[in-house]
Chains A and B, each alone.
Chain A
Amino acid sequence: MPSVPHTFDTVPQVWPHRHLLDLERLTPGEIRLLLDTAAQLKEATAGCRRKLTILAGRTIVNLFFENSTRTRTSFSLAARRLGADVVEFSASGSSLSKGESFIDTAKNLEAMGIDAVVVRHSTPGTPHLLAQHLDVGVINAGDGAHEHPTQGLLDIFSIRERLGDISGATVGLVGDIAHSRTARSNVWGLLKLGAKVIVCGPPTLVSKRWEELGVEVSHNLDNIVPRCDVLNLLRIQFERQNTRPFPSVREYAHLYAMTGERLKRARKDLLILAPGPINRGVEVTADVADCPQSLILDQVTNGLAVRMATLWLTCGNRLPQTDQAGHAQPGLSAEGTL
């Protein structure tokens, strides 16, 4: 059962954060609250199609220092579905190309009277640094290979929607784990909710060190396919490599692509996720991407629900006084809620 009422009058007090920077530092209860809120908003918006006004009067800035189409669009739509105004800011063509620091850029936007920035950047930690320098909410839309919390949440949301409960489920993350922010957010979220996580790929992309976090490490996809309830197929981030971590795409696909052949050896109800953009024929073949167990398009819809929940929880209330860690000080009453 959802843990918050359907009214969206005020953000529940159990949500203490002004920012959403990563899943590593959220509690299991906070992650559940985010997922439950997303479920309610999905329902209240008739599957993310209808519009609400619970963020009317708020202004959200999409501050993207790195190219993105789907995440940016998803955040924009999520904000508009809740009645917020959205401003798009791209690094190209801005003063950044004139040498301004990213902190100065963000401070300028803040001075224009905004409520939250959704930030994507190729460098890990950039949203965290912004959160230290800004008074408005900061939502991480992907920071390098570090985290992509809303992607992790929407993956888990999509699994939960099918399985009901995620604890005890076995989730395999396959592919370029080393350079994947999606992998990291999935690992934290899944572990906190009690799932078993396997990371799978060649040793050049899957470090043995993952075991220190309580994750199983495998270099053999055929071995793990029969054991998994869910497979999340991550793309190869060619743009983040110094030297290619495997001899050829052909060889990679031979060893690690999820194919119809491999699907035959999986459980009948195996769920297939892929955060996209997917490289058909590399990490997944077309027959698997389009099979009935594929949640790839559910993920996209659920992305809206999760991002609506994130925006609502982080800026549904005005919290004029927060401490440095971004936690609301106790005793503050919510104001300006709609």
Chain B
Amino acid sequence: MKKTLLISGGRVIDPAQGIDRVADVWVRDGRILAITGGTGPGEPLPESADETLAAAGLIVSPGLVDMHVHLREPGREEAETIATGTQAALAGGFTSVACIPNTEPPIDTQAAVEFVHQKAVRADTCNVFVVACVSRNREGKELAEIGQLVEAGAVAFSDDGAPVYDAELMRRAFEYCRMFDKPILAHEEVLELSRGGVMHEGLVSLVLGLTGMPAAAEEVMIGRDTALAESTDGRLHVMHVSTAGGVDLIRAAKARGVRVTAEACPHHFTLTDEALRGFDASCKMSPPLRTAADVEAIIAGIADGTIDCIATDHAPHAPETKMLELDRAPFGILGLETAVGLSVSRLIATGRIGWPRLIEALSTLPASILGIGRGTLRPGAPADITLIDPDLTWQVDVRSFRSKSVNSPFQGWTLRGRAVATIVAGRIKYRLA
């Protein structure tokens, strides 16, 4: 039996088709059937629906795609599993996530990719796309078997958690990945410059006596990798840009025609290094929270498209590890369940970008960078759809998170905008109670 789902009367935004109007979205058999109706009443419907979601006042978006998620499985199941992490994704409005391979062991074989796919099938939540290691065992010494990993379904390559340190290996990776048209997702950090650091190097680190991670640690590596991508015609995707200088380097590289894309994380356009004044390990991440000027540059970069997409760098850690001294606590914070609220509060409510640009950054572009055939409501596409209430104000409570961990600096914050329904392949997988 083919069931038909109607999402009626919402503001349908699909940047891939240039659509931004109140309309009805029809879904059948797990795929988009049609977008009908305009602003006028009384237009004939193509047929009746088996189920209707009233979406008046809501944004109807192609399912959100988070291309930077640490699901921790295998190896760190006490912090997150593929099942819990993807539940958190659904609650945050994401229909697809790309999981980063810095697991234990790292995802650098066909078997490991297959393991993640199987776990995702069993979890039966959102789509999980695998990012596999650039280097064997993520050691930065020799290339992983990239061709076979592509055959197993890997959509991109990354040694994230650490940079690909050997410049020649990075160059080989760019060259080699070109034949599969896969991007390298790069964690940009010169480790000697940030060694021992726990926060941004600036006035706040000086006052607190904490070891700093200078902006130059990121900028120097972005400089190297844009140069390598340029000389090899490889595809570079800069992960979690955090510095104004980094944004400038990417902007300049794009202007030269380098095949570079970039992402920014909600915490990097929301918080500054001032947040560390309470010595709270839930404000410790890499790259670190920077200054107000960096935050401004990132927002400007999102607005003008220098930064293509918003990704969370969702990095769960078990509470006992975050209860350690600041220099012993691990880097990283949760992101999936606050990303929409932070993006709407910081970018839309402040008038810095409009809704179509936000949907592009959270769905269209990450889907296209990963080449996963999603991020659009075009008829025939998989019916991955997110309904967002743009005006809903809500309070962050980590105890209600579906993630297994609670390491969020946004506990207690009041945010605007939230996913209220998440539909994967035509099935409603999440509805806000």
A residues adjacent to B (C-beta < 8 A): 24, 101-103, 121-126, 128-129, 143-147, 178-179, 181, 184, 207, 209-210, 212-213, 242
Contact = CB atoms under 8 A, between A and B. Distances in A.
A123 B325 contact: yes
Given A123-B328, A124-B209, A242-B192, 13 more contacts: A101-B320, A121-B325, A125-B326, A126-B325, A129-B325, A143-B209, A145-B209, A147-B209, A179-B209, A212-B203, A213-B203, A213-B207, A242-B195
Contacts of B210: 124-125, 144-146
A212 to B, nearest CB: 5
B279 A125 contact: yes
B206 A210 contact: yes
B303 to A, nearest CB: 29
B326 A123 contact: yes
Interface string B183-202: 00000000010011000001
Nearest to B279: A125
Contacts of A126: 279, 325-326
Nearest to B324: A101
Contacts of A147: 209
B252 interface: no
B346 to A, nearest CB: 26
B212 to A, nearest CB: 10
A123 B327 contact: yes
Nearest to A103: B323
A24 B279 CA distance: 15
Given A128-B279, A209-B202, A242-B196, A146 B324 contact: no
A207 B196 contact: no
A184 B207 contact: yes
B208 interface: yes
Contacts of A212: 203
Contacts of B326: 123-126
A114 to B, nearest CB: 21
Given A102-B325, A103-B323, A146 B196 contact: no
Interface size class of B (residues with CB under 8 A): 10 to 19
A24 B325 contact: no
Contacts of A125: 208, 210, 279, 325-326
B278 interface: yes
Contacts of A213: 203, 207
A212 B204 CA distance: 11
Interface of B: 192, 195-196, 202-203, 206-210, 278-279, 320, 323-328
A145 B207 CA distance: 9
A125 B209 CA distance: 9
A128 B279 CA distance: 8
Nearest to B321: A101
Contacts of A179: 209
Contacts of B328: 123
22 contacts: A101-B320, A102-B324, A122-B327, A124-B208, A124-B209, A124-B279, A125-B279, A125-B326, A126-B279, A128-B278, A128-B279, A144-B209, A146-B208, A178-B206, A184-B207, A207-B206, A209-B203, A209-B206, A212-B203, A242-B192, A242-B195, A242-B196
Given A124-B326, A125-B279, A24 B209 contact: no
A146 B325 contact: no
A332 to B, nearest CB: 26
Contacts of A101: 320, 323-324
A212 B210 CA distance: 17
Given A101-B320, A126-B325, A209-B202, A181 B209 contact: yes
A209 B273 CA distance: 15
Interface-central residue, B192, B209, B323, by most chain A CB under 10 Å: B209
Nearest to B276: A125
B325 A184 contact: no
Give me the 6 closest cross-chain CB pairs, A-B, nearest first: A125-B279, A145-B209, A146-B209, A123-B325, A124-B209, A123-B327
Nearest to A127: B279
B323 A24 contact: no
A146 B204 CA distance: 11
B279 A129 contact: yes
A192 to B, nearest CB: 14
Contacts of A184: 207, 209
Contacts of B327: 122-123, 144
Contacts of A124: 208-210, 279, 326
B319 to A, nearest CB: 10
A229 B196 CA distance: 37
A180 B233 CA distance: 48
Nearest to A179: B209
A23 to B, nearest CB: 12
A178 B211 CA distance: 9
B281 to A, nearest CB: 9
Contacts of B202: 209
A146 B192 CA distance: 22
A189 B326 CA distance: 25
Contacts of A128: 278-279
Contacts of B323: 101, 103
Contacts of B208: 124-125, 146
A212 B192 CA distance: 27
A306 B279 CA distance: 26
B217 to A, nearest CB: 13
Contacts of A242: 192, 195-196
A266 B268 CA distance: 49
A122 B324 CA distance: 13
Nearest to B278: A128
Nearest to B202: A209
B203 to A, nearest CB: 5
Contacts of A143: 209
A190 to B, nearest CB: 15
